[in-house]
Structure formats: structure tokens, C-alpha cells
Amino acid sequence: MDSLKKLFENFNRLKVLIIGDAMVDAYVWGQVERISPEAPVPVVTVNKKEDRPGGAANVALNIKAMGAMPVLCTMTGKDEAGKKFVSLMKKNGLPVNGIITSNERVTTVKTRVIGNRHQLMRVDEETLLDLSKKESHAFIGSLRKMISTVKPHVIIFEDYDKGLITPEVISAVMAMASNSGIPVAVDPKKKNFHHYKGATLFKPNLKELREGLKLDSLSHENLNKNTELKKFISRHQIKQLIVTLSDHGVYYSAKGKSEIIPAHVRNISDVSGAGDTVISVAALCLAMNCHPSYTAALANLAGGLVCEKVGVVPVNKNQLMEEAHREGLV
């Protein structure tokens, strides 16, 4: 327990730069007691509405919850949702000096309708266009300034395919990180899947891995034997790979070793945001130079814990430490 406490205490001194899409997570909570006479859909009687900082901001919330200092670098639209996002960041004690505003974009809003503690529907308002040359130049300049002033212990790419993270942005940041000796953890999506060459840690889920490698037959059962996956790791010089497998746990591959770490039995309420928690805890372990198997095991545990909550919520540090102790992760 002493070594576990020491690790969790050391998280408090880390600074983490997060690059990713800004979103407002809007929630409509209510009860369902009947089906609409207009269509075969449930009628939700609303009793609460709530807004939370979402997207890459949820990674920032997880980093903060673990005791480290997150700095989110992102871009919002010059709109009401953008103002709300900044306000939510401040309300949650997150710095806003890495946020820049664009006249050309809209701020993503994801509205989740939840009835009887189950998500019934999600409505997305967003743009998926890549940054213009002007926006890209401004964003890369902002990133260069933030990296030099913050001096982060680790950088996280939290990619949602909304157009903020482009090959140009990735290339510029990877070069800056390499020159400064900063490890880079990546939570990828399909569009930029093959652009993160040299990533220290690469964390897709199984669906994203299938899409990225164009291998529909890929499953948790044949990951270890798949030659295309091994070629991908080698070709892209990825030092650690973690693949989240939902109720099958996580697969990791690093330093010539690979295995599946099974999921823990949970009372699953909502899987929203679990990937954000996994990359957050994994990145902190990466900054602390933890063994890859330990990194995967602790991140797996953390991702499972947040699935017991409804909505996108950050991990509870004390609960994670207690459960890690019970599972013998010392």
C-alpha cells in the first residue's frame, strides 16, 4: 500500500498538456412512464438539465481528479456554446489559457437524453471540417507557446475526428515533444489513425483498431496473433499499445510482451467517457515511467469504475487507489 500511495502522491506533481476537441456535454434527465401516441418512442418527463465540460475537457477533469495539473489546448467557436464551454472550464477549476477562439468553427454540443438512468438518445451539434490554414497556423503557434511555458511531463492527443487535430498539428507537436523529451499518449480516431508515428503510447478501442487497420475480422481472441497489428506497431514506432476491449478488459503490447488483462465484474450503468479515463490514467503512469503491464492494469481498473456512473464523469482517485490495493496493484 505504501508504494501505491507514493505513486498516487507523485501524480500530484505532474503537468499534463491535453490537445483535443472542445465539447459541451448537455444532459436532459427525466422519467419514462409511457410511450408517445405520435410514434413508438418513450416520453421523457424532464426533471433536470445539466451542462458539463466534455470532449477533451473530460480528460482534463480526469487528470485533475487524479491530482495532476491539466492544461487543455483546444479551439472553440465564437458562439454561445463556446462561451458556455469556457465558463464550465472555469467553474470546474480548469485553466483556460490554452483555449483559442475561431470565427470559422462552431463549438460541439452533445445532448444526451436520459430516462430512468438509461441513455435514450444523443443529439450532436458540430462541424467536422479540418482547420483552415489560418486556424492551423494560429493553433500550432498556441501549442508551441504552451509547451514551452507549461513544460508538461506528458502530452495527450484526445482525437474525436472533429477537425481540430490534423496531420499538420500532429507533426508539429510530435517534433516539439521529441525535441523536449516529452512522452506522447494518443487516443486516436479513424481519420488520423496512421499519422501518430513515434507515439509513446497508443490507445484505440477495438472498433477504432478494426477501422484503422481495415480488419473486420479482428477480435479480442486473435489480437496477439495478428501480423498486421504487429506490422503497424513496428512501422509507426509505437512503444506501448493499449486496446480497450469493453467487457473483455484491455490488451497491451510493449517491450516484446503482450496480454489481455480481463475486465473486473461491474454493475455497468453507462460506458460514456470510459476511454477518456483510461487514457488519462495511462498517461500519468507513462509520465511516472511505470511498467507497461502496470499502466494497462491500473487504466483498466479506472475505466471500469467510471462505467458504474451515469453520464460522463471523472474517476474517483481514492476509490481507484482502494480498489487497486484490493486487486494487488502495488
Q: Using N-to-C axis directions, what is the helix angle for 317-326 and 2-10, rounded to 10°?
A: 150
Closest CA to 50 of 26, 72, 69, 78: 26
Using CA atoms, how far residue 157 sits from 17, 60, 174, 187, 319, in Å, is 9, 12, 10, 6, 26
Spatial separation of the C-alpha atoms in residues 134 and 140, rounded to whole Å: 10
Q: Is the pLDDT of residue 130 over 70?
A: yes
Q: What are phi and psi of 318, to 5 degrees?
A: -65, -40
Q: Is residue 119 part of a domain?
A: no
The model's pLDDT over 162-175, given as tens digits with 9 standing for 90+, comes to 999 999 999 999 99
Q: How confident is the model at residue 269 (pLDDT cuts 50, 70, 90)?
A: very low
pTM over 0.85, yes/no: yes
Burial label for 2, CB within 10 Å (0-12, 13-18, 19+), is: exposed
Q: Is residue 81 part of a domain?
A: yes
Catalogue the active-site residues. Answer: 276
Torsion angle defined by CA atoms of residues 306, 310, 314 and 318, in that order, rounded to the nearest 10 degrees: -60
Lowest mean pLDDT among 86-95, 149-158, 298-307: 298-307
Q: Is residue 9 part of a domain?
A: yes
Q: Is residue 166 part of a domain?
A: yes
> Which residue's entry shows cell 489481455?
260
Residues spanned by the domain of 217: 2-23+53-107+127-326
The model's pLDDT over 288-309, given as tens digits with 9 standing for 90+, comes to 999 999 999 999 999 888 766 6
Q: What are phi and psi of 287, to 5 degrees?
A: -65, -30
Q: Is residue 284 part of a domain?
A: yes
Q: Is residue 114 part of a domain?
A: no
Torsion angle defined by CA atoms of residues 258, 263, 264 and 269, in that order, rounded to the nearest 10 degrees: 150
Q: Is residue 199 part of a domain?
A: yes
Domain of residue 238, CATH code? 3.40.1190.20
Q: What is the mean pLDDT of the chain?
A: 92
Q: Is residue 75 part of a domain?
A: yes
> How many domains, the chain?
1
Spatial separation of the C-alpha atoms in residues 77 and 240, rounded to whole Å: 35
Q: Is the pLDDT of residue 270 over 50?
A: no
* CA of residue 290 relative to chain centroid, distance: 19
Q: What is the residue-wise DSSP string for 173-226?
A: HHHHHHHHT--EEEE--STTTT--TT-SEE--BHHHHHHHHT-TT--TTTGGG-
Percent of the chain at pLDDT exceeding 90:
78
